[in-house]
Amino acid sequence: MKKLNLQENAEDYTLIEKAIYYLDENQRNQPTLKEIAESVNLSEYHFQRLFTRWVGISPKRFLQFLSKENAKRILSKSNLLDAAYKTGLSSTGRLHDLLVHTEALTPGDIKRKGAGLKIRYGKHPTPFGQAFIATTERGICKLSFNPKEALNSLKSDLEDATLIEDFAHTQTLIEKIFSPKSKGTPLTLHLRGTNFQIQVWEALLRIPAGNMVAYNDIASAVNSPKATRAVGTAIGKNPVPFLIPCHRVIRATGEFGKYAFGSERKKAILGYEMAQTGT
């Protein structure tokens, strides 16, 4: 594939999301390529070109990745998380090579509401729309596909921190996260969460790109097999979605389930990852 253009991909994504929404609403009717293209006001030719530019494969192949049957096939793989633990993070996908360290905010940081912390932030185009990212001197503390809500959340949770808009600084991080062949210093996460939440988030990091697990798999991975609901709550509190891949957790039935930034975006991210890894 050609070199990733984040701005171009972000512009493509708005139409891809509409197409996925149309497919969700009309999947029983098995719409043709022409009908899907018309739903986003494009000709078949231009829609096919846009789709291939965005993900590198045809719309038909992409939809096969997002089928319930494919999801159930992936879920049926045995000991996926166990294998990831045994082989080490370096062999389970590009993101895992980057995320080698997770550091929690200390109780003092939280009690002081961020006093003394400098947080640099920025809004950037990505293959999945505009994203907000924020980082302290110790690592990335926020990633979101809802920039306005994310900034307000930071101001509320860490109201005494010093917030600095620094596009140049955060652009480097965005490129490392969303550019497939990025290299350099590994990323560090600086997170706020309970011990249980941190355990769940670290388990999510062990899910290989292009794969999916069920909520009960994560519960077993953190030695709390009966705590599926608590696991779901911890996943919902993930402060850096995509980076900590909560989108890779789906229902045991093969249904993709909800996502904080819309079910269409969850399907888009999963399909994109499967296309890149050939899952």
255 residue type, one letter:
E
Give, in order, the Cα–Cα distances in Å from 267 to each of 96, 135, 273. 21, 27, 10
Cβ–Cβ < 8 Å for 134, 152: no
Tally of CA atoms within 13 A in the half-sphere of 184 that contains its CB: 12
Tokens 């959340």, located at residue = 153
State the DSSP code for 127: B
Cβ atoms of residues 249 and 221 within 8 Å:
no
Report, as residue numbers or ranges, the catalytic residues: 246
Report the C-alpha gap between 238 and 260 in whole angstroms: 10
How does DSSP assign 198-266, residue by residue?
HHHHHHHTTSPTT--EEHHHHHHHTT-TT-HHHHHHHHHT-SSBTTB-GGGEE-TTS-----TT-HHHH
Distances (CA, A) of 62 to 82, 111, 127, 231: 28, 46, 15, 29
On whether the CB atoms of residues 273 and 210 are closer than 8 A, the answer is: yes
Element (H, E) at 278: none
